[in-house]
Structure 1
Amino acid sequence: MTQSSDTSEKRNSDFERSGSAAKKGVPRSIWFHLHFWLGWITAIPVILVCISGGVLAFESYLRRWEFPEQYDLVADSDPMSVDEVLELYRSAKPKLVVHHLGFPELPTHAYTAYVSMFDDNGKRTGGGFVIANQYTGELTYAGEKFTISGSMKELHRHLAAGEVGRQIVAISSLILAVTCFIGLVLWWPMRGRTFARAWRRGRALDWHNAIGLVTLGPLVIMALTGVLLTYSSHIFPVLDKLQSEPSKPQDPVVEVGEDQEKLPVSVALGEIEKNFPDGKITGVQPTGSSSTPYVFFVNNDGLDYRVCMNPYTGTEMSRDDGRPKGAVSWFRKNYFKYHTLSFNLFTKSLWGTLSVAGGILGMTGVLTSMRRWQRRAKSSSSS
């Protein structure tokens, strides 16, 4: 037992020194320095992204608490029609152009829309998430209200630093995946009794090894799917070439006659309700050019339909049932699910915990490095 413990201690000591004259010491030293410096370069972004990601695992619950304007309406009068709600957005100051209108799930829930804002000269001045109370006509601009979920989302997606921060997050996520694999290479020679060492000695390096072993797979999945989210507009056109049809359904082009005007959205909505009598309409995309259809989203028989309606005739032009058509299509439809693992409360809690553990992994790595520098400084001063 003592001999086994001594062997483990020696392996760990060799790892910390990372400078053995043995033949295996040379490649291990290279891996060590890569892991060390890549980890240091991305430490702060990775810690912030991981911890904010852990909080965002519970975003849906946070939003219900933070936005009573969306979830706790008083249904004491007749609600506005869809056309009236859209007009509410159009007549707002500054002018709002709705890209997607989400329908309420319950009578006490509000309409929600992702919008662009324009000034009187037609110049885009911003955008965001706006809630519409269909009973009172009140609009709530979510971006103007400080919320934990909103702050965590800003931090997680681009470190609250705009496009520059977004690129830093993507690059740091990619480097995180690489350092995870390098960490596995470094851990392998001393793989025995990893958890026992962490529990018995409790040193930062021991906990770093133990947490890294537990979070390795999940962190790689989170990191790579996060990178894909950032660069999806560039990656999927390349992947689409691997299969015979696009991974995302292509909306038909509407032929526009002279002096034609678009019908109210409610006309097309009525046709959708006829075609899907048992379906649940979850949203609509009402905007676009004159040749763009109205696009409705309908949940029916467990399938998520995307239905294009002619805005001039109110008739159906195409429908897609959401089922993947090819490997790339399946991947495009499902990869975000594995970034968040938001299937139920248990999976959200598991993924959120592992994300926070990724932040702790970065902290223990920083602490290990600082203590190593302190030991070197003491050694230099004493000599």
Structure 2
Amino acid sequence: MSRLQQPATKARPTWVFRLHVWLGALLLIPVTLVALSGVGLAFAREFERVLAPDLWTVSALGEAQTLTPAETLQFIHHARPEDRLLRLEMPDRPQDTIVATVRDSQGQAQELFIDPYRQRIVGQRAADTDPVYWLGQFHRSLSLGLPGRILVVLSSLGVILLFLSGRLWRRRRMDGRTVALHPRLVAIAAGLWLICAGTGVLAVFAGDSFNPLQPPSQALFQPTQDLTGICDAQQVDLIWWRADGTALARCVAPGSVGPFGRSYRSGPRESAGLSAGDWLAALHTGAIFGIGGRVLWFWGVLLLPFAMLAGLLASRGRARRAARKPDMTRHQMIELGDTKA
């Protein structure tokens, strides 16, 4: 019995298929840009250590004494007395530099890279040239301001609708042929796409920022105190300052993974745990599982534009085969579920 002579199966709504195809065509470019900037943002620091080692790395051989946060603060005030300290990023590894963000006398934000062993500034650059800064802007709004931000939100919602429409239309193949590339990619990475899109939209509506250059909670700031021992037995990760002199430190417990073991301290105030926005950011970036989670998210998100392109090519292939078969309508082609695409 030929395929055309097989018993008719339950008709499927062709509008769902058309919606799925049109969503894929409309979202391919903006979603690709958001996905690429997101994966670049997740590993921006690792890329910079390779591309700009003169700024990010120093020799730690034979060196035992390193600058503490309090000593770093004194060093910056002595070396740049006219600058106002905005942010201090302590090293993740022994060979990393300390990164201090300051506002100079001309009102420009500058990043200073400090050798923690030899107590000297090894380089500096404008803060707005930091890849985390401009990649973050591009990822959140495609550098288009409010219209771009709206486009990113609509694209994230469109990804969710794209997945739902695909699931609604998809059905089991009757002839047992090999499934095409597009559904295979979707089956592998759809969960990660939905997590990234969903957490991103929630953060926008909740007013939470995933920008690591900004402090996570304005309410936690307290008057500046001596930074000596501010994180107790934990390690100082980041310290932010506001114009009124209040400060906030993010502390990391030794051996912790992702956001686990992180807390905030501001002077003598008791340690405060992470907020809902912090957990949203950890899910959005994969940091909840540490470096392994970020790697998994990296490859999973990269599959998104490939899956969308594979789906569009498959749809185009179906349309061409339908044109070569005048005895079959496009609706029949869709209903038969041609798997040759």
TM-score for both structures, normalised by structure 1? 0.64
C-alpha contact 1:89 1:98 (8 A) present in aligned 2: no
C-alpha contact 2:128 2:134 (8 A) present in aligned 1: no
* Coordinate RMSD, CA, aligned: 4.2
Residues 230, 297 of structure 1: CA spacing in aligned structure 2 closer, same or farther, 3 A cutoff?
same
Distance 2:78 2:200 in 1: 35
Distance 2:151 2:78 in 1: 38
Q: How many residues align?
A: 307
Q: Which amino acid aligns with 1:99?
A: L
C-alpha contact 2:113 2:121 (8 A) present in aligned 1: no
Distance 2:307 2:6 in 1: 23
Alignment of 1:312-331 (within 5 A): 316=268, 318-322=269-273, 329=275, 331=276
Post-superposition offset of 1:227: 2.3
The match for 2:97 among 110, 117, 135 is 110
Q: 1:238 — aligned with what?
A: none
The match for 1:172 among 151, 155, 177 is 155
Alignment of 1:357-368 (within 5 A): 357-368=303-314
Q: Which amino acid aligns with 2:33?
A: L
Alignment of 1:152-191 (within 5 A): 155-187=138-170, 189-190=171-172
Post-superposition offset of 1:221: 0.8
Q: Which amino acid aligns with 1:320?
A: S
Matched, 1:66 2:56: no
Residues 57, 192 of structure 1: CA spacing in aligned structure 2 closer, same or farther, 3 A cutoff?
farther
C-alpha contact 2:55 2:123 (8 A) present in aligned 1: no
Q: 1:24 — aligned with what?
A: 11
Matched, 1:38 2:28: no
Matched, 1:250 2:219: yes
Q: 2:73 — aligned with what?
A: 83
Gaps in structure 1 of 5+ consecutive residues: 15-21, 199-205, 236-246, 255-264, 310-315, 324-328
Q: Per the alignment, in what secondary structure is the counterpart of residue 238 of structure 2?
A: strand
Distance 1:157 1:356 in 2: 17
Gaps in structure 2 of 5+ consecutive residues: 210-215, 327-341
Query: Percent identity over the alignment?
Result: 21
Alignment of 1:196-211 (within 5 A): 197-198=178-179, 206-211=180-185
Q: 2:250 — aligned with what?
A: 297
Q: 2:33 — aligned with what?
A: 48
Distance 2:141 2:221 in 1: 34
Q: Per the alignment, in what secondary structure is the counterpart of residue 73 of structure 1?
A: coil
C-alpha contact 1:46 1:362 (8 A) present in aligned 2: no
Q: Per the alignment, in what secondary structure is the counterpart of residue 297 of structure 1?
A: strand
The match for 1:100 among 87, 90, 100 is 87
Distance 2:253 2:130 in 1: 36
The match for 1:333 among 275, 278, 282 is 278
Q: 1:258 — aligned with what?
A: none
Post-superposition offset of 1:300: 4.4
Residues 295, 145 of structure 1: CA spacing in aligned structure 2 closer, same or farther, 3 A cutoff?
closer
Residues 283, 213 of structure 1: CA spacing in aligned structure 2 closer, same or farther, 3 A cutoff?
closer
The match for 2:121 among 113, 125, 137 is 137
Post-superposition offset of 1:65: 1.0
Distance 1:140 1:210 in 2: 47
Matched, 1:219 2:174: no
More helix by proportion, 1 or 2? 1
Post-superposition offset of 1:183: 0.8
C-alpha contact 1:69 1:110 (8 A) present in aligned 2: no
Q: Which amino acid aligns with 2:271?
A: D
Q: Per the alignment, in what secondary structure is the counterpart of residue 250 of structure 1?
A: helix
Distance 1:284 1:346 in 2: 26
Q: Which amino acid aligns with 1:281?
A: V
TM-score for both structures, normalised by structure 2? 0.70
Q: Per the alignment, in what secondary structure is the counterpart of residue 83 of structure 1?
A: helix
Q: Per the alignment, in what secondary structure is the counterpart of residue 212 of structure 1?
A: helix
Q: For each residue in 1:181-202, what CA deviation from the matched residue of structure 2 results, as whole angstroms up to 9, or x when unmatched?
A: 1111111x236788x523xxxx
The match for 1:307 among 265, 269, 279 is 265
Q: For each residue in 1:289-328, what CA deviation from the matched residue of structure 2 results, as whole angstroms up to 9, or x when unmatched?
A: 2xx533223334763332222xxxxxx2x122416xxxxx
Q: Which amino acid aligns with 1:167?
A: I
Q: Which amino acid aligns with 2:220?
A: D
Post-superposition offset of 1:358: 0.8
Residues 248, 287 of structure 1: CA spacing in aligned structure 2 closer, same or farther, 3 A cutoff?
closer
Residues 332, 23 of structure 1: CA spacing in aligned structure 2 closer, same or farther, 3 A cutoff?
same
Matched, 1:349 2:304: no
Q: 1:281 — aligned with what?
A: 236
C-alpha contact 1:42 1:175 (8 A) present in aligned 2: yes
Q: Which amino acid aligns with 1:284?
A: I
Distance 2:153 2:20 in 1: 18
